[in-house]
A and B are shown apart, each in its own frame.
Chain A
Amino acid sequence: MAKLTIPEIELMHSGHSGCPGCGAALAMRYVLKALGPETIVSIPACCWTVIATPFPTTALEVPMMDNPIEATGASISGLRAAADAMGLTGQTIVGFAGDGGTVDIGLQALSGMLERRTNAIYVMYDNEGYMNTGVQRSGSTPEGAWTTTTPIEGTSRGKLEPKKDIMAIVAAHNPAYAATLNVAFPEDFVRKVAHAKGLVGARFFHILAPCPPGWKYSSERTIELGRLATDSNVFPLYEFEGGKYKINRKIGRPKAVREYIEGQGRYAHLKPDEVEELQKQVDERWHRLLALEALA
């Protein structure tokens, strides 16, 4: 029998209240599979506040601390300090936050945690908008995407600004480890989490978590879209460790950005020249990443 590539252990239960096809639910499931039961998660206001199910139930087998939306970085610093003060060893402290709670309102607390070298893992699951409140734009929403606050109406053509590059911001703090992960590539995902678990210091994951209602696609396409995001270089898989970048997946002929976006209702308004512009930006970012990797 072939060796399983994904740990069998399940620390997230079915019966959670995520939407069908929820990428954020998969992100939690794989993170916990790789980290194991000696883990505690701190979760701000985000989809996962709700996915975890209301009192007195919980979808997680590990303890969970709720925290307000902007404070995840501080929360895991506090958990780490308490664990150290109480002589707990071997446990993994995890912050598990959405993109708005990380790149917008939570950026200060994240920066503080990284700068303090807090021995913990900060996970940002990126569904590219404020999805729990009903699809509003965040700093992590990509250019051109429809959201309820970047409507397609009159002269408004979706989000005007490019997605905030959180990995560059994190890398500028020189953490012990940072990586992009994608729920559509579980082997790569689990390998990175397991690697990070063995390290000491501040660690950061940027996880792409496709969102059927927010991106407007049918729920069975989450993995397909996730794979397209990486294979079109829209969401490259890479690691940053010891000041060096390493790209984890390079395919000879990347898919067209058009292929990735055409199945998503949030991009349905884009005209061919607008798609061409997005393709140009993706190419530029990819070449910049290749250049960063070449520095190593």
Chain B
Amino acid sequence: MPKLVLSGNSAQSYAVKLARVQVVAAYPITPQTSIVEKIADFVSSGKLDAQYIKVESEHSALQASLSAAGLGARVYTATSSQGILLMHELLHWAAGARTPIIMGVANRGVAAPWTIETDHTDTIAQRDTGWIQYYAESNQEVLDTVLQAFRIAEDPSVRLPAMINEDAFFLTHTVEPVDVPEQELVDRFLPPRPDIGVLKIGRRNRLGSFCGPELYMEFRHQVARAMEAAKGVARDTEAEYARLTGRDHGGALPTYRTEDADAVLITMGTASTTARAVVDTMRADGRRVGFAKLRRFRPFPVDELRDLAASVDRIGVVDRSFTFGAMGAAATEVSAALYGSSHRPLVTDFVAGLGGRDLDPASVRSLFEVLLSASPPEVSWPGLKTGEEVTTHG
């Protein structure tokens, strides 16, 4: 298995090549652009036999992807931030039409004010669209998860689109050694897309349609059932991938040193690497802390979370986005899942790392300290600058 030094974006591109994607429709946006540039190289040089549509907007990127998938092609697109916001209408459409599009997303904050740095608002805002959502911690995980996502999304019992999210710059533009599986191995893992639920020219059919109150709910419930089915399919898919490659990313909510922990921090994306290191440091000091990585946000890993919470009294959730007027989305979901649990730990929402604000070991350690304090708050925005610091900045 060759080891290449790849950025997260290149890991997406290599996965697309290995998956033998047939149609790519894409529009540039920082910091996603190098994904689709690399794919353009693969297609131009004949390394990937695909149709590449250089569309005039992200909205058209997703529509072209959707229509291509509706005819049965294996499809990939990529975007970020404002781009995925523009796609929002079609995100709903893609899930409703049951088209297994795979999309790479560089997680970037949204305007105003402008930012191009890491933040999860762009994809969290797509929570209710019916897309499977993964948040990657490393470039290896990006590549592996994209390949797994094709299998999961295209499974006949799922047939839902999936997005594989990577933190802007921390992953998209940072290189590390990545094991790139052999084509022959990927071909065994990922056969051509199953030929079901697609339009066939020469046959009467309609994809989309419209319907009245007597059936609309049943269509929506089918999407709900498909999302539930994705949990089991993901488990089996990851097990098979681990058997073939020896790599296992731990399912939807991998945990680290949580067995006897007094407090557990839940993170998404690259903050997880820092949290793991901080746990080791604090454990060395005799502090009983652990962490869990919310690797898959949709479908939400309710069972795994309840298993984790059974032995923990305090859970902190790091939200790299905020739901104005309430609390961060991950903390909301964690709290909701635990309400039905036999053991209900205290939950603190740490709104942190927005717009690329660094979550360094010291700041992550301070989150643990707040979590272990006498009365941790429900919602906290740690490290906010004071009014004077803001006005004198720069």
Other-chain residue from A83, A109, A115, A116 in contact with B63 (beta carbon distance below 8 A)? A109
Q: Judge whether B147 is part of the interface by a CB distance below 8 angstroms.
A: no
Q: Judge whether A70 is part of the interface by a CB distance below 8 angstroms.
A: yes
Cβ B73 vs Cβ A81 within 8 A:
yes
Cβ B200 vs Cβ A77 within 8 A:
no
Given contacts A49-B210, A60-B204, A116-B54, contact A78 B64 (CB under 8 A): yes
Q: Quick one: which of B63, B69, B89, B210 has the most chain A CB within 10 A?
A: B63
B residues less than 8 Å from A82 (CB atoms):
22-23, 51, 67-73, 75
Cβ B64 vs Cβ A63 within 8 A:
no
Cβ B205 vs Cβ A68 within 8 A:
no
B residues less than 8 Å from A108 (CB atoms):
56-57, 60
Q: Judge whether A162 is part of the interface by a CB distance below 8 angstroms.
A: no
A3-55 contacts to B, CB under 8 A, are 37-40, 42, 49-50, 52, 54-55
Cβ B23 vs Cβ A40 within 8 A:
no
Cβ A65 vs Cβ B199 within 8 A:
yes
In chain B, what residue has the closest Cβ to A73? B60
Q: Judge whether A181 is part of the interface by a CB distance below 8 angstroms.
A: no
Cβ A86 vs Cβ B55 within 8 A:
no
Cβ B67 vs Cβ A42 within 8 A:
yes
Cβ A91 vs Cβ B204 within 8 A:
no
User: In the complex, how many residues of chain A place their beta carbon closer than 8 angstroms to a beta carbon of chain B?
Assistant: 44
Cβ A74 vs Cβ B201 within 8 A:
no
Cβ B206 vs Cβ A75 within 8 A:
no
Q: Judge whether B50 is part of the interface by a CB distance below 8 angstroms.
A: yes
Q: Judge whether A283 is part of the interface by a CB distance below 8 angstroms.
A: no
User: In the complex, how many residues of chain B place their beta carbon closer than 8 angstroms to a beta carbon of chain A?
Assistant: 44
Cβ B201 vs Cβ A88 within 8 A:
yes
Cβ B63 vs Cβ A75 within 8 A:
yes
Cβ B63 vs Cβ A54 within 8 A:
no
Cβ B199 vs Cβ A63 within 8 A:
yes
Q: Quick one: which of A55, A58, A70, A75 has the most chain B CB within 10 A?
A: A55
B residues less than 8 Å from A73 (CB atoms):
60
Give chain A nearest CB distance to B159 CB in angstroms: 16
Give chain A nearest CB distance to B384 CB in angstroms: 40
Q: Judge whether B93 is part of the interface by a CB distance below 8 angstroms.
A: yes
Cβ B73 vs Cβ A85 within 8 A:
yes
Cβ B210 vs Cβ A75 within 8 A:
no
A residues less than 8 Å from B68 (CB atoms):
78-79, 81-82, 85
Cβ B60 vs Cβ A74 within 8 A:
yes
Q: Judge whether A71 is part of the interface by a CB distance below 8 angstroms.
A: yes
A residues less than 8 Å from B204 (CB atoms):
58, 60-63
Cβ A66 vs Cβ B201 within 8 A:
no
Cβ B201 vs Cβ A40 within 8 A:
yes
Cβ B210 vs Cβ A54 within 8 A:
yes
Alpha-carbon gap, A88 to B67, bound state (A)? 15
Other-chain residue from B64, B203, B215 in contact with A77 (beta carbon distance below 8 A)? B64
Cβ B57 vs Cβ A54 within 8 A:
no
Cβ A112 vs Cβ B22 within 8 A:
no
Given contacts A71-B60, A85-B23, contact A63 B67 (CB under 8 A): no
Cβ B70 vs Cβ A65 within 8 A:
yes
Given contacts A55-B210, A77-B53, A81-B25, contact A71 B71 (CB under 8 A): no
Cβ B209 vs Cβ A55 within 8 A:
yes
Q: Judge whether A136 is part of the interface by a CB distance below 8 angstroms.
A: no
Alpha-carbon gap, A40 to B204, bound state (A)? 10
In chain A, what residue has the closest Cβ to B208? A66
Cβ A77 vs Cβ B206 within 8 A:
no
0/1 per residue, A102-140, Cβ < 8 Å to B? Answer: 000000110110011000000000000000000000000
Given contacts A54-B210, A55-B209, A76-B67, contact A81 B60 (CB under 8 A): no
Q: Judge whether B133 is part of the interface by a CB distance below 8 angstroms.
A: no
Cβ A68 vs Cβ B93 within 8 A:
yes
Cβ A85 vs Cβ B50 within 8 A:
yes
Cβ B73 vs Cβ A86 within 8 A:
yes
Cβ A66 vs Cβ B200 within 8 A:
no
Give chain A nearest CB distance to B390 CB in angstroms: 39
Cβ B23 vs Cβ A74 within 8 A:
no
Cβ A112 vs Cβ B201 within 8 A:
no
Other-chain residue from B23, B63, B72 in contact with A71 (beta carbon distance below 8 A)? B63
Give chain A nearest CB distance to B212 CB in angstroms: 6
Q: Judge whether B90 is part of the interface by a CB distance below 8 angstroms.
A: yes
B residues less than 8 Å from A278 (CB atoms):
none
Q: Judge whether A64 is part of the interface by a CB distance below 8 angstroms.
A: yes
Alpha-carbon gap, A58 to B208, bound state (A)? 11
Give chain A nearest CB distance to B359 CB in angstroms: 38
A residues less than 8 Å from B69 (CB atoms):
78, 82
Q: Judge whether B394 is part of the interface by a CB distance below 8 angstroms.
A: no
Q: Judge whether A274 is part of the interface by a CB distance below 8 angstroms.
A: no
Q: Judge whether B340 is part of the interface by a CB distance below 8 angstroms.
A: no
Alpha-carbon gap, A129 to B205, bound state (A)? 29
A residues less than 8 Å from B70 (CB atoms):
65, 78-79, 82
Given contacts A82-B23, A115-B56, contact A71 B210 (CB under 8 A): no
Q: Judge whether B113 is part of the interface by a CB distance below 8 angstroms.
A: no
Given contacts A40-B199, A115-B56, contact A78 B25 (CB under 8 A): yes
Given contacts A71-B63, A73-B60, A78-B64, contact A64 B206 (CB under 8 A): yes
Which 9 residue pairs of A and B lie closest in terms of their CB atoms, listed nearest first?
A66-B208, A78-B67, A112-B56, A74-B60, A78-B64, A81-B51, A82-B68, A74-B63, A82-B73
Q: List 21 A-B contacts (CB under 8 A).
A: A40-B199, A49-B210, A50-B210, A54-B209, A63-B199, A65-B199, A65-B206, A66-B207, A68-B63, A75-B66, A77-B55, A77-B64, A78-B68, A78-B71, A81-B53, A82-B72, A82-B73, A85-B51, A85-B73, A86-B71, A112-B57
> Beyond A38-B202, A71-B90: 13 further Cβ-contacts under 8 Å?
A61-B204, A64-B205, A77-B25, A77-B55, A77-B64, A78-B70, A82-B51, A83-B201, A85-B50, A86-B71, A108-B56, A109-B56, A112-B55
